[in-house]
Amino acid sequence: MNSKRIVLIFAALMLLIANVAAAAPAAKNLPTLSVDGEGTGIATPDRATITIGVTSQASDAGKAQNDNAWTTEQVNKAIKALGIETKDIQTNNYSFHPNYRTAENHRNEISGYTVNNSIIVIVRDIKQTGKVIDAALGAGANEIHSLDFAAGNTQAVRKEALLKAVQDARDKAEILAKGLGKRIVGIQNVSESTGYLESRRYDNMMLAAAKTAAATTIEPGSLSLTARVHIDYILED
């Protein structure tokens, strides 16, 4: 390669660098518009988790324990009879403790014993939720600690929430840009913050309100997930 050709290539490179350098400040100087958008995705619960308790009391420790074990077994059988698999029934908590008299002169005397056995039941057929509660109470359970509804597949819900958040941001940006007499020509930066699809819980009071003389009526309703985006739009100069 002769020296003349090298000089021409070098000159071309310098010209290209100069053009890029001249264009960079111009791009940086374009006005921007920062907008936040929010969107919500909705999911239908497909799984329920019920925490059921059996509490037994007796003056004799052995009787309290035996009564509790027998009742808990009856509860398990009643739940399994509805088609709930063994793998979806598990012990959540077990406690055994003495009860003491409250009279001033007898505070250290044991008056009896209390045994509590709590189990968690996963109901994969959401329509069975009320029936499981009724079966457990009918078999001797005397506590329903909690009821949670959840959805297994959150990917579609997350996508729905993000798309709505982006559209919300775009709609706001279009209105603002039009009001400023500008036009959106690009995007400089995007960031997002997506929450989690949280389960919905019934506490003891809500479950008591849902209980009727005939059967327990539980409506799973819907669950929601919220996504937020921040977008910096580039406006025409």
- In tens, the pLDDT along 130-169 reads 999 999 999 999 999 989 998 887 888 999 999 999 999 9
Measured in whole angstroms, the distance separating CA 116 from the mean position of its chain's CA atoms is 29
- How many C-beta atoms lie closer than 10 Å to residue 223's C-beta? 20
Examine the pLDDT at 86 and tell me if it is beyond 70.
Answer: yes
| Nearest-angstrom CA–CA distance, 232 and 237 | 15
**Count of structural domains, the chain:** 2
| Of 11 and 227, the one with more pLDDT | 227
| Nearest-angstrom CA–CA distance, 192 and 226 | 11
* Per-residue pLDDT at 182: 92
* Per-residue pLDDT at 125: 92
Examine the pLDDT at 214 and tell me if it is beyond 70.
Answer: no
Tell me the C-alpha to C-alpha distance, in Å, between residue 63 and each of 67, 75, 101: 6, 18, 19
125 with 142, same domain? yes
Quick check: is 219 in a domain?
Answer: no
Quick check: is 126 in a domain?
Answer: yes
Nearest to 65 by CA among 91, 90, 95, 89: 95
CATH number for position 70:
3.30.70.2970
Cβ neighbours of residue 37 closer than 8 Å, sequence gap 6 or more: 165, 166, 167, 168, 169, 170, 172, 228, 229, 230, 231
Quick check: is 67 in a domain?
Answer: yes
| Of 14 and 228, the one with more pLDDT | 228
pLDDT tens digits, one per residue of 167-211: 999 999 999 999 999 999 999 999 999 888 776 666 654 444 444
Quick check: is 216 in a domain?
Answer: no
